[in-house]
Structure 1
Amino acid sequence: MRAAVRNGWWAGPLRTVVLPLAVAVFTVAGTFRAAQIQPFARPLDAPAVALLLVGAAALVLRRRYPAVVLGVAACAAWVYLALDYPYGPVFLAGLVAMCSAVVSGHRRSAYAVTGVAFAGLLVLHLVRFPDQPLPLFGAGGWLSSLAIVVAVCEWWRARRERLAQERLAQEEAERRRGSEERLRIARDLHDSLGHHVSLINVQAGVALHLMDDDPEQARSALAAIKKSSGELLREMRATLGVLRGVDEGPPRAPVAGIARLDDLLAENRSAGLPVELEVVGARRELPPSVDQAAYRIVQESLTNARKHAGPAGAHVRLCYADDGLTVRVDDDGRGTAAPAESSGGSGLPGMRERAGALGGTLTAGPQAGGGFRVEARLPTPAASPALEHGEPSISPRRV
């Protein structure tokens, strides 16, 4: 309601009435002036003024009934001239109605009514002046003027349609970007929540189990819970800030990426999952989207290993190549598929979406000898200068 008052609730009705009112004033005033140089025509009287006003008044409904309004304006002008009233801007209402019909898309009906009206005027001229030849020069001038008006109307209609299509395309692109952003936030929340909540659950169990027998170890587990919960709160605040559209300055916590992989592995080791890291090739700077996707895939894979592999160890392998990065996470547990694959969760599907969004692929499944493997291929642009120049490009490095 406030927006309507601020924008002016009267703006729509005012636009609907102003044009017909202007047409009425111009038509009546112009016809009275033109009548002064037509002494042999029938003097203007109340019926003549009423006929001049009929077409202008019908323009109020031009947007709802464009073809009907055009027909009414044409009939009023035809009857006005048939009664031998003087010429003047009596066709203005009809031209405005025709333009409105063409611009609104009612082209066929507009051209049909205009053609019939033009033919009717020629017939009327022959009936009124049977001894005079058909004024071809005047008719040609009318047709030329009408053709110019039609061309302008068609240009305006095409322009409006093009602008409408561009607006729809822009709205669709914005909706698509919004959907992609919501999907990205949902994946990040799932990965972050699953990882940190799983760590908190494991460490809470350790703390409860060792509270009486080993208070120092229980204290370490509680400290890990505090650290993990703090990380979780920071990530949730950042995500909620994006959802609210609040820009509170640059993020203080490091962005999730390969640079934080050592911290991630340390958290999993403290939660009871032995993890080894193998890097093949020279490490280099990756595009931010690839860097974050690789981190999240490793994070989710290790979370699934803690949840579903039982007592197990894990092995993370990063293989840098000129055209991409391969991320592989193996565990030697029971090797059963993660429930996210079959019960509608978003773990494995989310990882596939991350890889697919970058033009890559991800495969996941049990291994023949036991355990479970997740392998993602993430394409990257041409290799940038290596971050570790002294590192061999093909020999593995274990951490």
Structure 2
Amino acid sequence: MISVQRARDLGRRLSGRRWSRRDGRLAAAGRTLVRPFGLALFQGDADPPPASRRLTFTVPRRLAVLVPLRTYSLVQVAELVLALILYGTTQGMVTDMIAAHIEEYPIPEWVADVAGVAVALPLALRDRWPLAAWRVAIVLMPLTVWTVATLDLVDPPYTAPTGVMYLMVLYSVAVRCDKQITLAVWIITLLTAWIVHPNSMAIVTAMASVAVLFGYNVRVRRTATARLVEEERRTQLAESAQAVLEERARIARELHDVVAHHMSVIAIQAEAVPLKAAGDPARLEAGLAEIRGLSLAAIAELRQVLGVLRDQEGRTDTAPQPGLDRLDELADHARAAGLAVVLERVGSLDGLPPAVGLSAYRIVQESLSNAMRHAPGAAVAVSVARDGDELRLRVANGPGAAPGGAPGAGQGLVGMRERAALLGGTLAAESLPDGGFDVRATLPIADAT
């Protein structure tokens, strides 16, 4: 059983913890409520002015020595002119008031100058530092209001220059400051107006609210526009990156097809030439010459593929890409490597779009390269047929006369499928029951023109 004293102690501790948590929540809520006012009055800052070249003019070079800057904004110049006008208007108005009531209220004449500065200075500062301009206004404006109220000439004690200046400053704060700061500025304005002249609260609230809401609406629209511009920039970057990846993939396919085919032929030729020559210098020289010709052809195609990468000025190689007109040359290279190639053409292959001709050539080239590597000495049947708006390809090889190389990573088949897919076509590849391999492709002609 728990004693009565221990129960009381436990109750006090639990109660103390509850009050501690409650006090912590109250303190946090108090800091949250007070923070916007601290930012508005002391710590906060406004966003930088928007960078815009509209309504700007440049001072001619011959006059540049007379002015501190070369480029000026018409808005800033207009605000400075308006600040000077309001300064002169307010200074003259207060001077006349003081002179008219000098016997009743002996107010120093310098008060008129300070009143003019209190109206002009915030207006001159609001473009660069809107929050600082509001702080200056909230500190200096009471002097003008006090002077007018003391002389009892206007009810409410707000002059037209003061109202114009303050509404413009409020608008700038709403456009360039966070909504918490703007709300704190609006509340401080209404509290100040209520203290100075409660009877004018309705008109002050209406005018201040209109200025703040209008400025906040402009801020929201500017923010949305900036986000839209940023999204467009990111979209352009993403599209550029995608274009780079696609170009890299295209170059990688070209390099794979060129290198795989020619290197396979060269490797097989280099192995077969000494055996065919059998010590005959003439046959050996002819075989080496053929290898040299294949090497030069490979180098030429590599230069053609990589020409755009080497050109610092962005010029591309204008040499024609290989097409189906070079099928005989491709078949001869494969026969020289030991394949028994039978080439069949059906229909007219003239007038094909360059993209279709290049893709068809590369598919046949890669298929023959695969046959060289995996089925050396095999019989290969190559069929190219034009059927209306489609080009049909088939490369089928039987089993090799000798063991082939180890299976690769399958990049050749992936590249052939990508080539067909880019043109809207299809490609199927499968092993045959007798150990051979069959590649079938269909490339649309009409869509590529």
TM-score after normalising by structure 1: 0.72
The one-letter code of the counterpart of 1:273 is L
- Alignment partner of 1:124 is 2:192: yes
Give runs of aligned pairs for residues 231-310 of structure 1, distance below 5 A.
Answer: 231-245=297-311, 246=313, 251-252=318-319, 254-310=320-376
Matched letter for residue 427 of structure 2: L
Displacement of 1:83 after TM fit?
Answer: 5.1
- Cα contact 1:284–1:383 (8 A) shared by 2: no
Change (3 A) 1:201 1:338: closer
What amino acid is aligned across from residue 197 of structure 2 in structure 1? Answer: F
**Contact residue 426 and residue 443 of structure 2 kept, 8 A:** yes
The reply on whether 1:163 has 2:229 as its aligned counterpart is yes
Distance 2:389 2:229 in 1: 41
Go from structure 1 to structure 2 and tell me whether the alpha carbon gap of 1:382 and 1:338 turns closer, same or farther (over 3 Å shift). farther
Unaligned runs of 5+ in 2: 1-47, 52-71, 99-110, 146-158
When the two chains are superposed, the root-mean-square deviation of aligned CA atoms in Å is 4.2
Look up the match of 1:379.
Answer: 444
Q: 1:352 to 1:139 in 2, by over 3 A?
A: same
Matching residue within 430, 435, 447 for 1:365: 430
1:35 paired to 2:101: no
Computing the radius of gyration from Cα coordinates, the structure with the larger value is 2
Report the 3-state secondary structure (helix = DSSP H, G, I; strand = E; otherwise coil) of the residue aligned with 2:305. Answer: helix
Q: Aligned partners of 1:161 and 1:381: how far apart in 2?
A: 42
Q: By how many angstroms is 1:159 displaced?
A: 2.8
1:339 Cα deviation (Å)? 5.2
Indicate if the aligned counterparts of 1:313 and 1:332 stay in contact, CA closer than 8 A: yes
The share of aligned pairs that are identical, in percent, is: 31
Judged with a 3 Å threshold, the aligned counterparts in structure 2 of structure 1 residues 290 and 97 are, in CA distance, closer, same or farther, namely: farther
2:263 maps to: 197
* 1:60-71 alignment, distance < 5 Å: 70=131
TM-score, L = length of structure 2 = 0.65
Instruction: Tell me which of the two structures has the higher relative contact order, counting C-alpha pairs closer than 8 angstroms and 6 or more residues apart.
Output: 1
Relative distance call for 1:248 and 1:228 in structure 2 (3 A) is: farther
The residue that corresponds to 1:396 in the other structure is none
In the alignment, the residues of structure 2 paired with residue 162 and residue 296 of structure 1 have an alpha-carbon distance, to the nearest angstrom, of 43
Q: Deviations over 1:168-225 (max 9, x none)?
A: 2122111111110111001101110111112222222233334553333322222211
* 2:283 match: 217
Q: Residue 446 of structure 2: SS of its match in structure 1? A: coil
Q: Give me the whole-angstrom Cα distance separating, in 2, the residues matched to 1:84 and 1:283.
A: 93
> Counterparts of 2:87 and 2:133 in 1: how far apart (Å)?
19
Q: Secondary structure at the match of 2:409?
A: coil
Q: Any idea what the Cα deviations from partners look like across 1:105-140, whole Å, max 9, x if unmatched?
A: xxxx42x4334423432332232124x44463x654
Letter in 1 for 2:191: V
Identify if the C-alpha distance between structure 1 residues 22 and 285 changes in structure 2 by more than 3 Å, giving closer, same or farther.
same
Distance 1:27 1:119 in 2: 27
Q: Quick check: 1:77 aligned with 2:137?
A: yes
Q: Do structure 1's residue 326 and structure 2's residue 386 form an aligned pair?
A: no
1:22 Cα offset (Å): 8.4
User: Does structure 1 retain, via aligned residues, the 8 Å contact 2:342–2:381?
Assistant: yes
- Distance in 1 (CA, whole Å) between partners of 2:253 and 2:405 is 16
Partners of 2:250 and 2:92 lie apart in 1 by: 76
Preserved contact between residue 170 and residue 212 of structure 2 (Cα < 8 Å)? no
- More helix per residue: 2
How many pairs align? 351
Question: Do the aligned residues in 1 keep the contact of 2:308 with 2:316 (CA within 8 Å)?
Answer: no
